[in-house]
Amino acid sequence: MTVALANLKWVLGSLLENDRQFQYYSKCADLSNVAAKRDGDVVKIRFEFGDENSYDGVLKFAKNEAEVLFYKTYSIQSDFPLPRYVSSHKNMLLIQNMEPYGVTNTTYLGLKKQQVFNLAIHLSDLHAFHLLSHSNTSLWLPEERPITVDEFQLAVSDVDSVLSSGDVSSLCSYLKLHQSTSKKEDLKPVCVHGNFTTDVIFWEKDEEGDPKNIVAAVVGWNGVHL
């Protein structure tokens, strides 16, 4: 209980110091209720105010320092769509809760063509920012050996219902070509997500609450590496 109260005190202090929306709400009305719900390594916190406004935040217990430093660096300095970074303390990361503003696709539904194009544009911006940044991210972004193409092909062999054998062969041929080209061109390493599935992408909602083609934010950066 003491630890929970200490964490809440830190969360409130961080929001009052760093978050303009929370500052505005707290000036207009008194805080009337705080609700929290834990889901794995994430605690969703809702602050309710006397004028019926509410603020939603996420307290995440980061799995490594790289995830904390990624949010702290890229959320503030880059234009890549990320949850708004508020503060961090040791392994705790306080960020914006995207659920009121966006919606994720079910993993097995995949993405629409326009969603893929828009996401690719954001990823190219992220890579460009990383390559042009003056900060030395190699000091804190780990270099993790990616699986080989053969290992990937073996791993996806059990998901025939999602990918046909022809799809896998075509994809693996492209990956091998990319791998050999990268070595020849001596391309610099860039920052990658490390666990990039459709359920970590929040899309802006339409009037009916369905996903649009506009990326609201990408979450789940616990596997981020070079």
Mean pLDDT calculated for residue range 10-35: 93
pLDDT beyond 80 at 30: yes
User: Is it the case that residue 2 has pLDDT exceeding 50?
Assistant: no
Confidence band (pLDDT; 50, 70, 90) for 198? Answer: confident
Round to whole Å and give the CA distance between 200 and 39.
Answer: 15
- The continuous run of DSSP H or E covering 104 comes out as strand 102-104
Q: pLDDT tens, 110-149?
A: 788 899 899 999 999 988 888 887 777 777 888 876 667 7
Of the pLDDT bands very low, low, confident and very high (cuts 50, 70, 90), residue 161 is: low
> Which percentage of the chain shows pLDDT scores above 90?
38
Q: How far apart are CA 130 and CA 115, in angstroms?
A: 23
Cβ–Cβ under 8 Å, residues 167 and 156? no
Of the two residues 187 and 38, the one the predictor is more confident about is: 38
Residue 158 has pLDDT above 80, yes or no: no
Nearest in space to 85 (alpha carbons), one of 97, 68, 71, 102: 71
pLDDT in tens, 58-107: 999 988 899 999 998 888 888 899 999 999 988 889 999 999 889 988 76
Per-residue CA distances from 115 to 16, 105, 158, 218 (Å): 36, 11, 26, 13
Is 1's pLDDT higher than 50? no
Stretch 34-56: mean pLDDT: 92
- Asked if pLDDT for residue 192 goes beyond 80, the answer is yes
Domain boundaries 1-101, corresponding CATH code: 3.30.200
> Against a cut of 0.85, is the pTM above it?
no
Nearest Cα to 79, choosing from 18, 147, 10, 126?
A: 126
What is the maximum span of the chain, computed from C-alpha positions, in angstroms? 62
In this prediction, residues 156-167 reach a mean pLDDT of 60
The predicted structure's pLDDT at residue 199? 86
